[in-house]
Amino acid sequence: MKDIAFDPLSPEALENPGPHYSALRAACPFHRHVSESHDFYVLSDHAEIREKVLADNPVWSFRFGNAAKDSISDVGLKTDPPFHNAFRAALLPGFAPAQLKAYAARIETIANALIDTMLASPDKRGDFCALFAGPLPARMMCIMLGAPEADYPRYKKWADLMQFLIFHDPEPGSYEPILKEVYPHFLGHIEARREMLRAAGVTEPDIAALGTILPDDYMSRILVTKVEDRYMTDEEMLNVCLAFLTGGHETTLSLLANLMWRLLEEPARWERLKAEPNLVVAAIEESLRYDPPVLAHFRTSLAPVEMHGHAVAEHAKLMFSIAGANRDPAVFENPEDFVIDRPLIQARRHLSFGAGVHFCLGAPVARLEARIAFETLLRRLPNLRLDGPSERIPTWMYWGRATLPVAWG
């Protein structure tokens, strides 16, 4: 490790994190960051992250949370193998091809309705995040969970606050006020589904209840799905609901807004995509690589381990730099450039959805939402252009637009 300056909370890093994290990888791919508020290691090498951390490595644990400070849970998705694998397998059928096909129709309907509203605007200008990039994934999250679509503004408010608390070192008890709102809300929806089962006389429900006795959504699915031959506990079901709440729309919002921002900041990119809409998928993957919605994740060591010739103690925090790895020249040609037609076989090597046992369950839905969104936007709002400076979201571990002013008249 080298004694170099690196501060992920510096104004320079917050303003433009990609080059900042890339410079750290080039100078010191394994670095220890110590400040008044933090003490963690940073790993930036793509191959090491993928093969030594994100693979099924028993040293690096997820159950102490995905932040620089512990938030111990060890429940549901926030667990380590082998239980994590069993829990994940129970959720995977909800992302099967038949489900994605059904989601595609809903995504297209929502995207067109949002664009209809934009086209009806008298001045033909507004905030892309508020008008499109935010509502689309938030409404889809409600549909997938089985919550009323009209609840999406409240869910976004909850998600924003919880994401901020995760990464900004809250004092003990900081989560309590919001959890007192969130937990009863979701438990109420789950209890309503239990009542449907009781009314039907079903005491041992299974997947056949979906779409018959129960609505076919995730709050029903987690109620009837078994993990290791038992039904999920309330705590495990709440863990799934929170995963949808914090991961089901915020990162997709950033994907949509980041890609639109890059396309419009150099209008030739938008014009090329209009001329070659077959490049939409490549552009989405390049956006994920170049502007990862989550800049890094954390793991905690369960035993002493040596890395790069240095002894890392038990219970040390390791930040693996997605932003740094996504610009690794050993993997990506011209990594500091946004290349709209980067070959998919190369672009998809990004780590923005993670890898290995904790690969993002929602990745297929995020990709589907982005593809349908941009195909629809290109067709119906071909005159989109920037209409002023944008603002970034405030959390230092996330990278996206809080606002993106655009015009389309």
pLDDT at position 163 is: 77
Average pLDDT score over residue span 30-50:
93
pLDDT interval class at 1 (50, 70, 90) = low
Q: What is the value of pTM for the model shown? A: 0.95
pLDDT at position 294 is: 94
Instruction: Measure CA of the first residue to CA of the last residue in the chain; give whole Å.
Output: 53
Average pLDDT score over residue span 282-306:
96
Percent of the chain clearing pLDDT 70 (strictly above) = 96
pLDDT at position 172 is: 56
Percent of the chain clearing pLDDT 90 (strictly above) = 78
Considering 75-79, 86-90, 335-339, 396-400, the range whose residues carry the highest mean pLDDT is 335-339
Tell me the sheet residues that pair with 409.
none
Chain-centroid distance of CA 49 in Å reads 18
- Give residue-wise pLDDT tens across range 70-114: 776 788 888 999 999 999 999 999 999 999 999 999 999 999 999
Instruction: Choose between 175 and 208: higher pLDDT.
Output: 208
What are the structural domains, with CATH classification, of the chain?
11-407 (1.10.630.10)
CB atoms closer than 10 angstroms to residue 386: 18
Pairing assessment for the beta strands 405-407 and 305-307 based on DSSP bridges: unpaired
Burial class (CB in 10 A: 0-12, 13-18, 19+), 215: middle
- The answer to whether residue 132 scores a pLDDT higher than 60 is yes
pLDDT at position 113 is: 98
pLDDT at position 66 is: 80
- The answer to whether residue 123 scores a pLDDT higher than 60 is yes
pLDDT interval class at 177 (50, 70, 90) = confident
Calculate the average pLDDT of the chain: 93
